[in-house]
Amino acid sequence: MAFYLKFSLFFVAIHLVCYIIAGVIDLQLAKRLYQGRDRLYRSFFRNMEDKRESTRVAKLLLPSQFIRGILMSVVLYPILPSLKELPFGIKVLFMGGLMFIYADFSSAIPFSNTIEGLVYLKKQFVKSNVFWTIQLEAILYSAMFGLLSAWILI
């Protein structure tokens, strides 16, 4: 049981670090999507320029990602013994691929960088430059996550 608890704690820590780093990097490239009067996601994202909404997001960011990390780690419990036996490179590919494919690109949520989004969203949300700007965050997150999580599974 201690192994699983330790795994979940490390998993959550790695998730938080990768999520924040990838988000900060991508936000520098994607400001026009999230900020300003003509922001692309104006109709459904909270207005971060509004102090009240920005404060709300800031209060919920870490707790929501902590819960997300716990849930993602617990799902892996049944296969942890098998994962531990894999070579480091395969662990990196598996964990990074898991986050990229299941948590992002193949997610059932229609967004600018998912398969569902490519099917259901209007063209302005999935133009090539929008798709790749958002996809960059997922790729950065998944690569960092794969490396760090494979390290904790040693």
Q: What is the largest CA-CA distance in the chain?
A: 52
The number of domains in the chain is: 1
Does the global pTM surpass 0.75?
Answer: yes
Cα within 13 Å of Cα(109), Cβ side: 9
If pLDDT is split at 50, 70 and 90, which confidence band does 153 have?
Answer: confident
Chain segment 73-92, per-residue pLDDT in tens: 999 999 999 999 999 999 99
Chain segment 49-58, per-residue pLDDT in tens: 889 998 998 8
Report which of residues 121 and 32 the model is more confident about: 121
Contact 105, 94 (CB under 8 A): no
154 has pLDDT over 80: no
Q: How far is CA 17 from CA 11, 31, 49, 74, 117, in A?
A: 10, 21, 24, 19, 26
pLDDT of residue 40: 87
Chain segment 116-143, per-residue pLDDT in tens: 999 999 999 999 999 999 999 999 999 9
pLDDT of residue 30: 84
- Structural domain of residue 137, as residue ranges? 2-152
Weakest-pLDDT range from 42-46, 68-72, 94-98, 132-136? 42-46
CB burial readout 62-84, b (16+ within 10 A) else e = eeebeeebeebbeebeeeeeebe
> Mean pLDDT, the chain, as a whole number?
92
